Structure 1
């Protein structure tokens, strides 16, 4: 597996995103969702960028075939995501932790966001973070079909259309004057972040830099977002509340895309050195496990409160220290013992078959014909490796 400066610094962004989630869920007063939500949006932009980049690289190879590439994509995603995910669900089912067993089928089908949206409450709280994992899985199912099967000249236009649809979706809510959870949990509410990351990958694939207005203007968008978040509380009037919500959802997109774009090119100097600190990179590599396990470890920490000298029953430094440490330790063990070996199996499922494999398949034949073409019209060799991220994208 190749690694490069871009992928290393994107690991650092994962570490920052998951730290924001841990702070929000373990430390912030009243369980404020500000940083946690921002961390999830950063994860979405990263996912859209990385997945689209891989798919575009596969499609650009001389020996690309849509069927094998799709099959490999879904198998590789399953190897990376499913084992720890279903291990958590199995543990919850066996112990019925926090009376969560009744909702497990929805979570197993990656419909957690619909479960919470339909009930309009975060019950069971233990698995409420699965809503974002469901959004990503729904994206993983649909997006490769667009990138690999749609006409090449249309893919970028389709992506812009997805962003526009997601933004237009937000204008539905003032009509209903409804602030239900569905407003944030249904897929259109997150497709803008995922598609913005995808659009960034598409521009990079054709050698286009970020637009000048974005490069120069993203600090202003970030400042406006922080000013509204910190100094302007949500108004009681439904129309004004909707506008407040809309700005908090949309304004961070430009800074997040700009930051992902900068890290994908690689920061230099002191900032680049900071982004490549080993502890930060290590946390980025295990960030999926940290996100997946952290409420489970919190539940066990609260149950063990009589034996813990620090206060873990309430938001604050004690909970943050104990629950975060336990989460990171478990996630690190999970990565080394469980996830990393399974992740290594992805080498058997390349997006584009290598030349030697093609020749063997051609000689052996499948159902009386070659499984793959043995060459390409222009005679180009496939790339030795497709770029991959260190965290298993």
Structure 2
């Protein structure tokens, strides 16, 4: 597909191609700086808290170079050949990217534990078709997916954003160019390439405004969104247009006292980038307005050009700097898998010497990929004489990785499901040592906390039974289910709480199905059902919206339960420690004893009995199946101190404020002995992630919780 609008001859000499050097040394140095920041951030995140801004530098560089190239093509040929442009992009990017993806597949099966395979293959497939940024974006706003472990290819999100820009940007230029050419023909006006600049300016304005909006309302999603990053590419594109159409202006800047002769503009640009990397951190809203810092710094460096000031020009021209710029793409591809493999196998971040070794290994792999994969793919006649090999490579690579993910990942999941189904008889056998029986049963269980090879950690990592939870998710207003025995000859229980209650839903259903008790669920993620008031109503942030929605939902739950005469008992089960100030809740949204007491008093006044189940013991915060995956054969691996479970529980304080009795049930002894809380009990993994009880262990625990409730 092409556009046939021809540019005016008088513009040709002003385009970058007429004056540009074959290699822009300052751009290569920028690439070196950007990749150095990213690698340092990933290896030592506590020492360079804002190194992630290196990817924003890459985005601006890409926008600048790609737009300059498209303008030269348009100027020289009067059109933009989309198929040729995309073929060049494929030859430039895909051979190295697919090579690293293939290596990651091998690593997943040879080096990494089985527990990470399904998620790793899913993201490898997404990376092969350049949509992994959207996979991560939706995982980031998914209450459960947000806790997923980092995979070997998580860093491909930036490549996905870049590839999506490479598709959308020339298409947009083709469309705008076609409209401009038609308008000019009708008016009899001359043809101009200024529409490149106006289009870039429009994208900067719209995308930046959207980035501000989404970073405020949904920071997790905005970080990975292409729409919130597009303005960074467009800013680079706008500079390319200025360089092309106003070369005298750029020349005056570079020839001025603050320009290339002194290097002030370039030095200031580098300083802005470096200071951004030092001062920013992951707790600040990003991208949003803060992304403008590395963008401005990058624009200053490119606009400043190659500094004439000798010390600065010498530094930029140093062979190590230029070499790092040359291999920056492959270094970016390789460094993250190397880090992730190390951390997964060692169970800890690298020390300084180990970090340096990781960097050295990554540079070696990058150099090999550059010289044996990247360069041949760009230069060999087999790839360059026709566009077909490039498109065949892209298609075949995507097909292979997607099919591999679907087939192998599906097989692993089916095996895990079958293993869980085989536990049925052991779950209801209270005389053995399976699951909670090992701690709460009457039998002797000498190896109660041993992680042996028979424990299927893949099954454990997918043991959340979310399809049975009947949980009200973030994008839903209301959901409730009736489980257990519909006849309800022995009464009806209302189960109220957040995802910790929802994780017990299937166990409640199974236990009470044959015991004459109906269970009605009222569960919402991140919401205890105990909140009162209207906090969050005046807060326009994402968190404020969630808090207010939680309180509206909680009020509806109270009203529903109070209005049902068939419900005789209300059971509350929550991640209570997460709703108080010491657990990280903002003070204005912290759960208080008074609002808990008010909720319970409403239930008691409506004739219900109230029972509160103390929340499950906390983990160390690490994904438990992943932690266990490198510790097979150990006794009591990934355990925590029982003392970690001690906190000022507002539910305890609320009991003295209620107008009637509130029964408490403490299940801690089903997880811990006198000093230690365990991650493997009776051959069953207790947690399916970093805080939710696994479905299998919940079923074994229900044999002890059930009799206390009814």
Report the TM-score, using the length of structure 1 for normalisation.
Answer: 0.73
User: What is the deviation of 1:350?
Assistant: 10
CA distance in 2 between counterparts of 1:224 and 1:280 reads: 16
Match status 1:154 vs 2:195: yes
User: What is the deviation of 1:224?
Assistant: 11
| Cα deviation digits, residues 247-293 of structure 1 (max 9, x gap) | 42223322221112223x55442211210101111111111000001
Equivalence for 2:66: 51
Match status 1:145 vs 2:180: no
CA distance in 2 between counterparts of 1:278 and 1:136 reads: 27
Q: Post-superposition, which runs of at least 4 consecutive aligned residues in structure 1 deviate over 6 A?
A: 214-218, 220-225
User: What is the deviation of 1:137?
Assistant: 0.3
| Cα deviation digits, residues 36-83 of structure 1 (max 9, x gap) | 2x211110110000111111111111x4443xx322211111111111
State which drifts further: 121-130 or 21-30. Answer: 121-130
Equivalence for 2:368: 333
User: What is the deviation of 1:29?
Assistant: 1.6
Map 1:374-389 to 2 at 5 A.
none
Q: Is the 8 A contact 2:210 2:228 kept in 1?
A: yes
CA distance in 1 between counterparts of 2:157 and 2:366 reads: 20
Equivalence for 2:162: 136
Q: Is the 8 A contact 1:8 1:276 kept in 2?
A: yes
CA distance in 1 between counterparts of 2:208 and 2:201 reads: 11
Secondary structure in 1 aligned to 2:152? Answer: helix
User: What is the deviation of 1:228?
Assistant: 11
1:11 to 10, 17, 28: 28
Q: Is the 8 A contact 1:52 1:147 kept in 2?
A: no
CA distance in 1 between counterparts of 2:213 and 2:376 reads: 46
Larger Rg: 2
Between Structure 1 and Structure 2, the one with more helix by share is: 1
Equivalence for 1:246: 288
Equivalence for 2:103: 91
Equivalence for 1:342: 377
1:35 to 31, 35, 51: 51
CA distance in 1 between counterparts of 2:282 and 2:102 reads: 41
CA RMSD of aligned residues (A): 3.6
CA distance in 2 between counterparts of 1:205 and 1:293 reads: 35
Match status 1:113 vs 2:129: no
Match status 1:262 vs 2:278: no
Secondary structure in 1 aligned to 2:194? Answer: helix
CA distance in 2 between counterparts of 1:125 and 1:350 reads: 35
Match status 1:126 vs 2:152: yes
Q: Is the 8 A contact 1:116 1:123 kept in 2?
A: no
Match status 1:203 vs 2:219: no
Are the structure 2 counterparts of residues 163 and 3 from structure 1 closer, same or farther at C-alpha, using a change threshold of 3 Å?
closer
Map 1:205-224 to 2 at 5 A.
205-208=244-247, 209=249, 219=268
Are the structure 2 counterparts of residues 161 and 92 from structure 1 closer, same or farther at C-alpha, using a change threshold of 3 Å?
same
CA distance in 1 between counterparts of 2:365 and 2:271 reads: 34
CA distance in 1 between counterparts of 2:245 and 2:273 reads: 31
CA distance in 2 between counterparts of 1:58 and 1:135 reads: 24
| Cα deviation digits, residues 296-339 of structure 1 (max 9, x gap) | 2223444676xxxxxx9425422321110000001111111121
Q: Is the 8 A contact 2:65 2:240 kept in 1?
A: yes
Between Structure 1 and Structure 2, the one with more strand by share is: 2
User: What is the deviation of 1:22?
Assistant: 0.9
CA distance in 1 between counterparts of 2:331 and 2:277 reads: 30
User: What is the deviation of 1:341?
Assistant: 1.0
| Cα deviation digits, residues 126-178 of structure 1 (max 9, x gap) | 222111100000011111223455243322111111111111113423774x3
Unpaired runs of 5+ residues, structure 2, are 1-18, 141-145, 181-192, 388-710
Report the TM-score, using the length of structure 2 for normalisation.
Answer: 0.42
Match status 1:278 vs 2:319: yes
Match status 1:230 vs 2:279: yes
Provide the aligned length of Structure 1 versus Structure 2. 329
Are the structure 2 counterparts of residues 250 and 221 from structure 1 closer, same or farther at C-alpha, using a change threshold of 3 Å?
farther
| Cα deviation digits, residues 227-263 of structure 1 (max 9, x gap) | 89739995xxxxxx65x86342223322221112223
Are the structure 2 counterparts of residues 23 and 72 from structure 1 closer, same or farther at C-alpha, using a change threshold of 3 Å?
same
Q: Is the 8 A contact 2:63 2:233 kept in 1?
A: yes
Match status 1:182 vs 2:221: yes
